[in-house]
Structures are given as structure tokens and as C-alpha cells.
Amino acid sequence: MFVSLDFIAAASEPARLLTQSVQEVHYVWTLVDDLLGQHLRIFIGFVLALLVVGRLMLEKRNPSNIYAWGLVIFFIPWLGVPLYFIFGGRKIRKLVKTKLEVNAFAVQLAAGMDVTSPPIVVPGKPVSPRRKFTNNSFKLFGDGVEAYHALRAEIARAEKSIHVQTFILGRDEPAQQIIADLTARARAGVEVKLLLDALGSFGATGHFVQPLRDAGGRVGSFLRVLPLQTKWSANLRNHRKFAVFDRERVLVGGQNIDHRFIASRDAPTLFFDFGAQVEGPVAAAFNRNFVSDWCFATGDSPRNFRELLAYKPAACGTEDMDVVTSGPDAEDDPLWERLLILVQQCRRELTIVTPYFVPDEVLFRSLMIQAHLGRRVRLIMPENSNHIMADFARHYYLRQLHDAGVEVLLYTPKMMHAKLVLVDGEVALMGSANMDYRSLFVNFEIGVFLQTPGPVGALSAWTERLRGDCVTYIDSGHAGAGASRRLMQDFAHLLGPLL
């Protein structure tokens, strides 16, 4: 049987037409779907951006922070919104309430009160009155080598307890030695607790510290990042660094347990920084802070620390000190407030040493006003820090401060990581906080205010040693940057609150 070609062509024509129609309908549907999808994505992104910006307005944020987040969210909503929910948290009500309850319980126990139920915390009311600790001793460690040997000596000397809190625990030689020392003391029956920030010490909270756990020591991880305990836990970091020995001797400063901060000998990679040992009644403030942070991180009850919280270290010197903590566990920003008071009350001379300088508008303008009033304002920072974006962002401020009469000095030999404020040769502030948004408004930080001639004089002499290796902002060449580089610096300053 034979079929003609004409018949086959005639029979296939309807099929061809049907196929063509289906293809055209599919094309039109795809076009409409793409168009609707694009508009839907834009609409959802816009709604999410509005919701996030609305939340930004409700939180206690300065205009620069709102502007920086708004800039990212509105221009790149699909990136900005997720980043905000991961890294944008600042004051979390539940976290504030939890920490305030722990702090209040600690204060009441320290006062000798018989607390049988959770304390009642009145919102907006300080947990305890701020007061000055008298009759303390102070010893300065001028670099990371001195601090390393002091830490090892205190670990070996401890007889009852060692409580260490740090942001970064490296996995290098100094960190290995410190863990070995802590492990040895735990085996000897000393109570050892090590509290690590989960992000700063990422990778060092597991097998690296297991020997310490095996020896009977305990290791706490502050706000684990993986998996996220809350959607804010990647952002809220515990940046406090101190160690308390036998409830009365404290090593405090800005140095982490890592080869960049402490080492057995000097090296080009060792940051220039300082630490100090304080001893006396002021140790009670560090004991309470450690218990508060430890209980929040591990779930332990402060009732398990009754003896420690009730302990009152004996007087052992003549120095006056005050300890101020700041962060998401504070209703306001006490460290920033105290710093601002120091700056505004300066009458003769103000020196600020910081590794990163991205200040908020109020602090920035206060420094300019003090320079205009004829005060001698000096700002010391590394010529090149280990954060490129922070270096770019700072030049917007440095140019204006230099023009206002502020002496801007850049430390040249290596990375300088010190944090220090000196006012009129009478008051000094040292601790863990940098001069940037993250330290002053987001991180958990701790600051020590020193108010007597001995510590202030020692820190002033250390600063003079620092100045000998500095160049002025003009001599460094950074002030003469070209137009394109200045444009990049000014743009980086807009994102300063996010750094």
C-alpha cells in the first residue's frame, strides 16, 4: 500500500499548526510569568525593606546607623534584608531581660541577701548603683610578651579558681600553651572555667579545648553561630577579655589568646598592645560580670555561685577604679555615655589611642568642638590596621579632625591594637572597646576607669613611648589622597556603622 506525499503533507498540517499554537501560548505565558515574577519580587523586596527600616526607626539607633542599613536595604533588598536579620540586631528585649535578671541576682547575692526566687527587675532602673572601688593595686604590662608571661604566671600561681573570658582563642602556639597550662591546673584540682565567644573563637571550641574538659575544666561558648541560637546571635559578640584568679587578681585589657596578641617573644606579627593586672575590691565587679556572662552562655544558675558572688576581695593598694560594662545586656549604652562625658569634660588635654576609628556623630563632633575650644586633642592609631574597610572609612573623620586642629598620629612599625583614653592627666579608660560603632553600640564590652596618679601616670608614659614611633597624618601621605581615593573613603564612611 502506498501513500502519496501530498496526503502526508495535508495530514501533518493540522499537527504543525497545533504545535505552533502551543509554542506561541507557552511563549506568551512565559513572558507574562517572568513579568509578574519580576514585579512580585520587587514588591516583596520593597515591603521587606519597609518593614526592616520601620524596625530600625523603632530601635535605639543613631541616624548614621539607620542611613547605612537603609542604603544597603533599599538598593539591594534581597541581600540587605537577610544581612540585617543575621547581623543587624542590637538591643534584644528578651536578651536584655535575661541578663538583667542574672545581674540583679548576682548583686543581691553579693550583698548577702537570701534570695530564694528570681529577682524582680524594674525596666529602666539600674541593677545596682554605679560606684567607685577604692584601695586597689595596678600593674601595667606594656606589650604582648609581658602579658603572655603574666598570664602564664597567674595560671601557675592560682590555688582555687581560674575564670578566663576572651573573644578570640587561636589554635596556634601561644593558645596551645595556655590551654596546656589551664589543663594542668584543672588536673591539680583548681576550678577552671573558660568562656569563649563562639564566632571569635570559631574552630577552637571543640577538639582543641577537649583536653581541658577531660581534666575537669569547663568551657562555655557564648551565642553559638552554627546553628543559630537566634537570628541575632551572629551579630551580638562577647568582646570582653579578662581573667580572674582566686577571685581577687584580674588581668584585663584588649588582648586575645592568639599569636597576634600575646607571645613568648616579640615578632613582626605581634600586635603592639598592653594589658594590666588589678587586684583588690574591684575584682568583685569582674567576678559578677563573669558569673553573669557564664550563666547566660551555659544555662547555669547564679545560685551555684553564691560563695563567689558574696566574696569581698581585701584592700591591697591605694588606687581608685570603676568598671563599666556595655552591650546588648544593657538597656542604654553606659560605656559610650561615660566616654562622651570624659571627652566633653576635658579642659586641657585629651588623648585617644584606638586601632579602629569610626565614631558616631556625637563623639566625632565633640572632639571637633574640644579642638576648636583650644584643648589639645591627640588621636593615635595604626597607619595600617588589619581591617581595610575600617581604614578607608576613618579618613572621612581624620581629614576634618586634622583641619579642626586635632593632632592625628599614625603608628608605623606594626599593627597597634591598644584601646586607651587619657583626660587631663587625671582619668584613664582602658579595656576591650574600640572607637567604633560595633564596640560602642553592639558588642558586649568592658571598660576600666582609673582615677589616681599611679595608673594614669603609667599609662601616660606608655603613650609617650607609643608616640616615638608615629608620624603625623600629613607626613604619612594619607591626607593627600587623590579624588578617586577620597570618593572611595567617603563612601566607606557611609557604611561605617555596619563595619
For the chain, what are the domain ranges?
Answer: 5-87, 93-317, 334-498
449 has which bridge partners? 322, 429
Q: Which of 1-5, 156-160, 455-459 has the lowest mean pLDDT?
A: 1-5
Q: Is the pLDDT of residue 300 over 70?
A: yes
Residue 235 has a pLDDT of 65
**Domain over 93-317 is classified CATH 3.40.50.150:** no
Predicted confidence (pLDDT) at residue 166 exceeds the cutoff of 90: yes
Q: Encode pLDDT of 107-120 as tens digits.
A: 777 666 666 555 54
Q: What is the DSSP string of 139-181?
A: EEE-SHHHHHHHHHHHHHH-SSEEEEEES-B-SSHHHHHHHHH
CATH 3.30.565.10 holds for 334-498: no
Question: What is the reported pLDDT for 377?
Answer: 97
Range among 33-37, 182-186, 299-303, 336-340 rated most confident: 182-186
Q: Which pLDDT score, from 0 to 100, does residue 116 have?
A: 58
Residue predicted with more confidence, 55 or 231: 55
* Reported pTM: 0.80
Q: How confident is the model at residue 175 (pLDDT cuts 50, 70, 90)?
A: very high
pLDDT of 427 > 90? The answer is yes
Phi/psi of residue 325, each to 5°?
-110, 155
The yes-or-no verdict on residue 396 having pLDDT over 90 is no
Helix H or strand E segment including 427: strand 427-431
Higher pLDDT, 24 or 481: 481
Counting every residue written for the chain, the total comes to 499
Residue 125's pLDDT is what? 46
Higher pLDDT, 205 or 62: 205
CA distance 81 to 70: 10
pLDDT band at 497 (very low <50, low <70, confident <90, very high): low
203 is written with which cell numbers? 574552630
- The three cell numbers of residue 81 are 534584608
- Confirm if 309 and 106 have CB atoms less than 8 A apart: yes
